[in-house]
């Protein structure tokens, strides 16, 4: 097995993964200031631990896991203040305006919100998500199914979609 070794250079991590880490943190915290703190803490943890990775996907998964765990810790110690408006450039890079969907996602429970984000926004499989979040794959699929049903209900009620 070949080891993918990358020196801990904050600029490279920020350039390559900064927006992704920020989106992950924001999906938990619903507050841009706190999400930026998590981005900074994730990069610091990356530098201090100088981990070795099997490949680039392993590195990305490690960063997502660290950002998720730091976000969960911040939630435990913070009472979440009113959420900042999510910058549309972080949500959808497509030409369509999908901000109404992500507004609905913000209303989901944290467990559902995180799997929706990792599945649809970051493109991970349910198996990868289960490994990252240390859950059973069937639990991740159930959370995803519940989230889809709830989103359908929310969007139908608020935006009159079928």
pLDDT digits (tens, 9 = 90+) for 5-29: 555 566 787 888 889 999 999 988 8
Q: What is the pTM of this model?
A: 0.53
Contact 126, 119 (CB under 8 A): yes
Tens of pLDDT, residues 81-139: 333 334 444 444 443 556 777 778 888 888 888 888 888 888 888 888 888 888 998 99
Dihedral over alpha carbons 73, 75, 78, 84 (to 10 degrees): 130
- Measured between alpha carbons, how far is 147 from 150 in angstroms, rounded to an integer? 5
Name the phi and psi angles at 53, rounded to 5.
-120, 150
- Measured between alpha carbons, how far is 62 from 65 in angstroms, rounded to an integer? 5
- Residue 15 tokens read as 């350039």
């Amino acid at each position: 097995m070949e080891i993918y070794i990358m020196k801990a250079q904050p600029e490279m991590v920020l350039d390559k993964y900064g927006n992704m880490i920020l989106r992950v943190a924001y999906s938990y915290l619903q507050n841009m200031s706190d999400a930026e703190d998590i981005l900074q803490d994730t990069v610091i943890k990356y530098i201090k631990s100088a981990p070795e990775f099997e490949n680039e996907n392993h590195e990305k998964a490690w960063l997502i896991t660290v950002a998720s765990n730091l976000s969960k810790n911040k939630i435990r110690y913070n009472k979440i203040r009113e959420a900042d408006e999510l910058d549309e450039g972080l949500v959808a890079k497509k030409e369509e305006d999908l901000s109404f969907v992500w507004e609905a996602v913000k209303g989901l429970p944290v467990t559902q919100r995180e799997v929706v984000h990792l599945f649809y926004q970051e493109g991970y499989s349910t198996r990868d998500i289960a490994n990252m979040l240390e859950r059973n794959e069937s639990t991740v699929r159930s959370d995803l199914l519940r989230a889809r049903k709830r989103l359908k209900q929310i969007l139908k009620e608020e935006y009159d979609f079928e």
